């Protein structure tokens, strides 16, 4: 690790601790005592407010409520941040305005040479949703659904929500315990446990009209909700063995709820278990299409007749 990188890492390390000693720095970063002492002195010179503690077991602590020195980025850290911004353009991610201000601050912290390198990267690297002809490094215009940020803020304090959404059946108000908020096929989705009907429910964020914490009156405890969910756990009715080619296809794309467990240390064979609701024709079609996408390097150990019939029909044609 280069000195500049080490200094930055040590600064973050000690800023997250009430106190530390030279011996701890030596062990954590595998450096000598003299190097650790020099690094601490340089960090003090940069402006980090350290307080030395006298005594046999003395060490250092960071003076709280003090202004810390400006964080310095290495060239590689700058590139890593910028490429992360590029790769997530037009993905309808939340906190767009904050992402824009982060990009502005990043450009304000780096040198002109680093800025020129980023402009060049912007032209050379192409990710889905990026335009190599557009030299604007701050071009972030992928507005997410306005309910997305509100949902995230609510979830940080409460997962029991009353959501109101509109679908083909009209406007519905539903109390849910939110299990996951995820993005699949360019759509943000809510996976929640319907507290009225005691079953899982999927709702597209785009259909939301409102979301609010569930009133305390009559609300179940988290323990009781989790007990209900555990009783509703679906047993896998699709079991597959995957070879290396199928695993490669799985890594390219898989439904977010479908996971695999590797069956050898080289990750060349795996077992896939999932559940498909055969009463939902759309689920059967989607899983059939995905199994065909995996290719021939799969062995079906267990699957409903509806899936097998779908595969035979498609392969026959």
pLDDT in tens, 81-128: 888 888 887 778 888 878 878 887 787 778 888 888 888 888 788 777
Q: Is it the case that residue 309 has pLDDT exceeding 60?
A: yes
Cα atoms in the Cβ-side hemisphere of radius 13 Å centred on 302: 11
Q: What are phi and psi of 61, to 5 degrees?
A: -140, 160
Cα distances (Å, whole numbers) of residue 43 to 1, 30, 66, 111, 253: 17, 18, 14, 22, 46
Q: What is the pLDDT of residue 314?
A: 86
94: nearest Cα among 41, 43, 132, 148:
148
Fold of the 146-231 domain: SH3 type barrels. (2.30.30)
Could you tell me what percent of the chain has a pLDDT over 90?
36
Could you tell me what percent of the chain has a pLDDT over 70?
91
Q: What is the pTM of this model?
A: 0.64
CATH 2.30.30 boundaries in the chain: 146-231
What is the per-residue DSSP string for 216-278?
Answer: STTPPPHHHHHHHHHHTPPPP-EEEEE-HHHHHHHHH---TT-EEEESSTTS--EEEEE---T
Region 275-288 average pLDDT? 90
CATH 1.10.10.10 boundaries in the chain: 3-62
Most confident stretch, 24-33, 54-63, 136-145: 24-33
CATH of 3-62, one of 1.20.1730.10, 1.10.510.10, 1.20.1250.20, 1.10.10.10: 1.10.10.10
pLDDT in tens, 3-57: 877 888 888 788 777 788 888 888 888 899 899 889 888 888 877 778 877 655 5
Average pLDDT, the chain: 85
Question: Each residue of 21-31: b (16+ CB within 10 Å) or e?
Answer: ebebbbeeeeb
| Band (165; pLDDT cuts 50, 70, 90) | very high
| Band (297; pLDDT cuts 50, 70, 90) | very high
The shares of helix, strand and coil residues in the chain, as percent rounded to the nearest 5, are 40, 20, 35
- Within 16-95, residue ranges assigned H as helices are 22-29, 33-46, 75-87
Cβ atoms 27, 36 nearer than 8 A? no
């Amino acid at each position: 690790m280069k000195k500049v990188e080490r200094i930055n890492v040590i600064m973050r390390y000690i800023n997250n601790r009430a106190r530390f000693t030279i011996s701890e720095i030596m062990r954590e970063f595998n450096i000598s005592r003299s190097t650790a002492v020099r690094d601490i002195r340089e960090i003090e010179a940069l402006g980090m407010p350290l307080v030395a503690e006298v005594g046999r077991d003395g060490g250092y602590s960071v003076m709280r409520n003090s202004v810390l020195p400006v964080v310095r980025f290495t060239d590689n850290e700058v590139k890593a941040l910028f490429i992360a911004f590029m790769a997530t353009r037009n993905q309808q991610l939340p906190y767009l305005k904050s992402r824009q201000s982060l990009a502005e601050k990043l450009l304000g912290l780096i040198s002109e040479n680093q800025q020129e390198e980023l402009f060049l990267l912007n032209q050379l690297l192409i990710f889905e949703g990026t335009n190599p002809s557009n030299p604007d490094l701050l071009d972030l215009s992928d507005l997410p659904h306005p309910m997305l940020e509100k949902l995230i803020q609510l979830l940080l304090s409460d997962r029991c929500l009353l959501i109101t959404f509109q679908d083909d059946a009209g406007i519905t108000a539903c109390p849910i315990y939110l299990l996951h908020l995820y993005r699949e096929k360019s759509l943000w989705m809510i996976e929640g446990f319907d507290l009225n009907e005691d079953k899982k429910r999927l709702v597209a964020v785009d259909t939301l009209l409102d979301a609010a914490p569930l009133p305390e009156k009559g609300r179940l405890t988290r323990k009781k909700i989790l007990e209900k969910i555990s009783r509703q756990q679906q047993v896998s009715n699709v079991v597959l063995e995957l070879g290396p080619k199928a695993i490669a296809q799985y890594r390219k794309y898989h439904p977010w709820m479908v996971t695999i467990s590797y069956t050898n240390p080289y990750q060349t064979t795996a077992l896939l278990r999932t559940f498909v609701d055969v009463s939902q024709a759309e689920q059967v079609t989607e899983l059939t299409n995905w199994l065909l996408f995996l290719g021939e390097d799969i062995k079906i150990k267990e699957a409903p007749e509806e899936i097998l019939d779908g595969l035979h029909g498609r392969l026959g044609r």
